[in-house]
Amino acid sequence: MTRAWAWCRAWLSSLLLTVSLAAGCADYTEVDDLYVMTGLGVDVADDGRLRVTADIINPDASQSQQTVGTGGGSQTPDLVVQTEADSLEMAIDDVQRRLPHRVYLSHNAVVVLGEGIVQRQLQSLMDELERNRSIRRSELLIMTKDRAADVLSARVAASVSSALRLQDVVEQAADWSPVLRSDQLHVMRRWLSPSGTSAMIWIDRNGQGEPIVRGLALVTREGRTLWVDAKEWRGMLWWLSSTRGLLDSVACPKPHGTRIFGGGRAREAAGHQGEDGLTRLDETVLVHWLSTRTRVRWAGTAQRPRFWVEWRGEGEVERGCASMRLDTDAYSRLEAAAASLVRTEMQAALQRARRAGVDAMGLQNALYQADAKAYQALAAHPDWWQTAPVHYDIRARLVRSYMVTHSPFGEYARESQKKSLGTGGLSR
């Protein structure tokens, strides 16, 4: 009986192991048998339905690299499939029916949203993206004024898919500010906050058809959008998050006792151009902001709402004025001019956001975090943040790297002059 029971246990164990291994591999699929989706573009069709463009890695592309010269395979790195449907889920199903292999969604990198879809069906579209368990929340949300289909299908590099190229463009811009990396998880969190506004990177095509960063799209959960061009987005970036590596040009401060040009840029300062219309380099200071940080604080009551904004920045002087003497007094005046410029840019950004009714600065968030009761008391007047006073505390600290007491070119010139004098080169 003991030997029979041991044999029976061994047979049952083998049977269970076989069943478990078979069950674990039941849904196994080779990579070559998958179509990996890397990008989605969503527009509004003429009939009001969704026009969905899917960018899919071409599994034959790698094989075609091995068959160059034989006429076999396709060199295109991705396949672009477009369809129209009443919902995103139905559109993805239709794309699946058109392809011979299963579409894999978990590697989707970007979702490009056309302006029309945001204005009409933003909430229903985002609801579908959030509920789809096959899509990761790390995908990037991109806004465009062009058609999403055109941006997603733009051919730039023969060896890189269009969606992955867009991802590279966004990640390069995110080196300046983390707000420019508009992944779905953080975009949704900002939409669900009291301010209800998210920042998404704005990408269109240039004259050559290449995707480029145009600026920021500040979108409310109701679909209102404030477009901020890259030429004007610096003030918005000061508000939204910390920044790194931004370049700025400040008008050269005047000597002590004369008026400073309100922190304006060189192009705004009087007399920055000569009679030939060319900008003079000696009238601008190029500042490289190494890092900046902003803190928005609630500093009022429900009866008298107001905010206090603290901005701190540290930067390097990349290029000074030709007539500027680098001493303590000059640096103090330059820091004051830079701080005044930052304040002007932040005020202009706030005014634009208030006119558009887009709380991009998160003023309602600051109130809710500081005083929930005051937030509830002001809920009956949802536009209160558009008139609440804002006070600024802006401080800039500037340094000059690689400072030397003598110019190496000046030393070289003096040595050359001595040699010339020694050989009588200057005697006449």
Q: Under DSSP, is residue 369 helix (H, G, I), strand (E, B) or coil?
A: helix
pLDDT on residue 409: 47
- Identify which of 190, 217, 187, 214 has the alpha carbon closest to the alpha carbon of residue 203: 214
User: Angle at the Cα of 124 (from 96 to 39), degrees rounded to 5?
Assistant: 40
3 state SS for 244-281: CCEEEEEECCCCCCCCCCCCCCHHHCCCCECCCCCECH
- The pTM of this model reads 0.76
Q: 41 with 81: CB under 8 angstroms?
A: no
Which residues are 286's β-sheet partners? Answer: 249, 319
Distance CA 204, CA 211 (A): 6
pLDDT on residue 355: 95
CA distances from 370 to 119, 289, 350, 374 (A): 32, 30, 21, 9
At the fourth CATH level, the homologous superfamily of domain 240-406 is Nutrient germinant receptor protein C, domain 3 (3.30.300.210)
Distance CA 183, CA 161 (A): 19
pLDDT on residue 156: 57
Residue whose structure tokens are 């900046």: 292
Distance CA 319, CA 317 (A): 6
What is the rounded end-to-end Cα distance, in angstroms, of the chain? Answer: 126
Task: Please name the residues in contact with 365: beta carbons below 8 A apart, sequence gap of 6 or more.
Answer: 193, 194, 195
Longest alpha-carbon distance in the chain: 126
Q: 187 with 170: CB under 8 angstroms?
A: no
Task: Please name the residues in contact with 98: beta carbons below 8 A apart, sequence gap of 6 or more.
Answer: 81, 83
User: Angle at the Cα of 307 (from 304 to 308), degrees rounded to 5?
Assistant: 135
Distance CA 373, CA 379 (A): 10
* H helix intervals, 51-159: 60-66, 88-98, 115-131, 148-152
For the chain, give every domain's residue range: 31-231, 240-406
User: Angle at the Cα of 58 (from 55 to 63), degrees rounded to 5?
Assistant: 165
CA distances from 131 to 101, 120, 125, 228 (A): 24, 19, 10, 30
Measured in whole angstroms, the distance separating CA 130 from the mean position of its chain's CA atoms is 21
Question: Which of the 8 DSSP states describes residue 139?
Answer: P
pLDDT tens, per residue, the chain with 428 residues? 566 656 666 665 665 556 555 555 545 455 566 889 999 999 999 888 999 999 998 777 655 444 443 344 456 778 889 999 999 999 999 999 998 888 999 999 999 999 999 999 999 999 999 998 888 889 999 999 989 999 988 765 556 778 888 888 888 888 888 888 889 999 999 999 999 999 999 999 888 888 889 999 999 999 999 999 988 899 999 999 899 888 888 888 766 555 444 444 444 433 344 333 434 445 788 889 999 999 999 998 988 999 999 999 999 888 777 666 767 788 888 899 999 999 999 999 999 999 999 999 999 999 999 999 999 999 888 899 999 999 999 999 988 765 544 444 445 445 555 555 554 444 33
Q: Under DSSP, is residue 199 helix (H, G, I), strand (E, B) or coil?
A: strand
Q: Of how many residues is the chain composed? A: 428
Question: Which of the 8 DSSP states describes residue 315?
Answer: E
